[in-house]
Chain A
Amino acid sequence: MKILVAVKRVVDYNVKIRVKPDQSGVELANVKMSMNPFDEIAVEEAVRLKEAGTATEVVAVSIGPAQSLDTIRTALAMGADRGILIKTEDAPEPLAIAKMLKSIAEEEKPDLVILGKQAIDDDSNQTGQMLAALTGWGQGTFAYKIAPSEGKVSVTREVDGGLQTVELNLPAVVTTDLRLNEPRYASLPNIMKAKKKPVAEKTPEELGVDTAKRLEVLKTEEPAGRVAGVKVASVDELIEKLKTEAGVL
């Protein structure tokens, strides 16, 4: 089976972001960027399926600025076979991303598309579901376990209250949750090898996708702050404060 994996370049998980003073957005200049953590899990899962002999080829796609090539190289170093970079000026919305991925899927004809369940920058949690809608494929979102078999894939999903297992016809779209696997670190030899793996470049225009924004961002603000309270010295003082001052007991 052939697997397509979508990877996004985002502000690194450990960076504490800052809102620009003019409220026009979040400060991205000179900030460390990395692959979206959920997408790392997606790449890892695809590579494991290849190592297990289930998958024959893993193709990593990234949509974004030219530097998204680094994100693809990371996926290649982890074990993906080749990359596709769709270069865009600014960050398209999930709907446009899903349309571009659909166009790539029509060309590549994968059996499975694996994506992170959400990107940790805009926290939209939409792209996988939208891709499944546009292709008419089944969707296994928030995956905890993936088990492909002949023509089908069984996906155990993290849902409110526990786990749910669904079976999907292939091709299908799966989005990853945190506990699906623990992604590997790419080794130095593999990072070197990844530089020789092929990466094709495309544009939204070539794919015939209109990336005009549907959501107009009016402003970006700091969330309402929370000020640190007081330290109490004992359990008795804590109970006293909760009863009289906070009134929550």
Chain B
Amino acid sequence: MTTLLLAEHDNATLSGETAKALTAAKALGAEVHVLVVGETVSAVAEAASKLDGAAKVLTAEGGHLAHRLAEPTAALIVALAEAYDAFVAPATTTGKNVMPRVAALLDVMQVSEVMAVEAPDTFKRPIYAGNAVQTVRSTDAKKVLTIRTSGFDAAGEGGSAAIEAVSATAGDPGVSSFVSEELAKSERPDLSSAKIVVSGGRALGSDEKFKEVIVPLAEKLNAAIGASRAAVDAGYAPNDWQVGQTGKIVAPELYIACGISGAIQHLAGMKDSKVIVAINKDEEAPIFQVADYGLVGDIFTLVPELTEKL
């Protein structure tokens, strides 16, 4: 019984999502091997080897794996599959892209967005944008899981797992190739793992106002910036800032929603935050039903005042 965990990284740094998914992987009760797929991943493998609970770190390096495209990455995992009973990845866009492909190749029904491990074959997962929670038992011999990392604490450090290279030649199906990438460069903490998130909604009214009102508060608090779908659709914020059912799921210590009404799809992405603050001029806005502290009024005066007084 061994579990294979696919590490999330950018070839240079190991993402914090991996340590959280490791906690879920350990809950399956078996030894966990962490697989680092990419191009020159020694620094990432080094970081993974220190995670408490990683029994071994496997590296698979190759130019065709640099961007962890689903086709070669899934082929690689399937080539290693015989030695493993469970395959786990954080539910990042990489995990969500790769793991169902692995599952289908193994003829397994994946369990998506696991929020709790009840038993090695039994999991809780959200459905209907988190408005219901299902407990499912997998009857497949092998398990394939993606982990909603906001539900798990990060595994600590202190381990010293052996690092072992595995063959990366497992047939790239050769049907896909990487063209380009436009990644937002940000000085801000990562949205998925930030302790504080400041989010803006459609009420901001423009790209300029979003920058003028939301960004200074986020800077003051060293917070990540989030946005509602409405704000993203209106072009006030880039798409990777979207918090919600189909965007990022966050659970920071403090979530400050500014000018966000609180559609169920948005609430699905942030309602597990420890403390929620809502600032909105409409006192009937649904966001106040989940907020610990609500402040009714104009965001254009209240948010700068908050920034000023903090």
Q: Which residues of A contact B (CB under 8 A)?
A: 11, 16-17, 19, 26, 93-95, 98, 117-118, 120-134, 136-139, 141-142, 144, 154, 157-169, 172, 177-179, 213-223, 226, 228-232, 234-236, 238-239, 241-242, 246, 248-249
Contacts and interface: CB of A to CB of B under 8 A. Distances in A.
Contacts of A118: 246
A216 B139 contact: yes
B109 A226 contact: no
A84 B131 CA distance: 31
B134 A220 contact: yes
B140 interface: yes
Contacts of A172: 175
A164 B100 contact: no
Contacts of B239: 144, 158, 163, 179
B184 A239 contact: no
Interface in B133-177: 133-140, 173-177
B70 A130 contact: no
13 contacts: A16-B131, A95-B103, A158-B93, A162-B181, A166-B178, A178-B229, A179-B239, A215-B137, A223-B271, A226-B289, A228-B294, A231-B293, A232-B294
Interface stretch (B33-41, B80-88, B122-130): B122-130
A232 B295 contact: yes
A220 B227 CA distance: 30
A165 B294 contact: no
Contacts of B98: 129
Interface in B281-310: 283, 288-296, 302, 305-306, 309-310
A123 B290 CA distance: 22
A130 B246 contact: no
Residue picked from A120, A235, A242, most chain B C-beta under 10 Å: A235
A154 to B, nearest CB: 6
Given A164-B67, A242-B254, A217 B135 contact: yes
A219 B132 contact: no
B183 interface: yes
Nearest to A236: B309
A238 B127 contact: no
Contacts of A129: 70, 96-101, 104
B128 A120 contact: yes
B128 A163 contact: no
B240 interface: yes
A158 B182 CA distance: 10
A192 B185 CA distance: 50
Main secondary structure of the interface of A (DSSP, over half): mixed
Contacts of B192: 160
A131 B103 CA distance: 11
A166 B67 CA distance: 10
B288 A228 contact: yes
A110 to B, nearest CB: 15
Given A139-B97, A226-B290, 16 more contacts: A19-B132, A26-B132, A94-B110, A124-B112, A125-B100, A129-B100, A133-B102, A134-B104, A213-B139, A216-B136, A221-B132, A223-B130, A226-B271, A226-B276, A248-B253, A248-B254
B179 A165 contact: yes
B277 interface: yes
Residue picked from A17, A26, A139, A154, most chain B C-beta under 10 Å: A139
Interface in B24-67: 67
Given A123-B113, A214-B140, A238-B295, A223 B132 contact: yes
A115 to B, nearest CB: 12
A214 B184 contact: no
Contacts of A242: 254, 275, 277, 293
A11 B131 CA distance: 13
Nearest to B248: A160
Given A159-B94, A235-B305, A178 B100 contact: no
Contacts of A168: 175-176
B264 interface: yes
A241 B293 CA distance: 8
Nearest to B90: A160
Contacts of A132: 70-71, 101
B74 interface: yes
B310 A139 contact: no
B309 to A, nearest CB: 6
A134 B107 CA distance: 9
Given A94-B109, A167-B177, A242-B275, A214 B70 contact: no
B254 A162 contact: no
Closest A-B pairs by Cβ, 5 of them:
A214-B109, A129-B100, A229-B292, A130-B104, A133-B104
B217 to A, nearest CB: 11
Given A123-B112, A165-B181, A241-B293, A133 B136 contact: no
A98 to B, nearest CB: 6
A127 B176 CA distance: 19
A125 B132 contact: no
Given A123-B126, A162-B181, A223-B131, A139 B96 contact: no
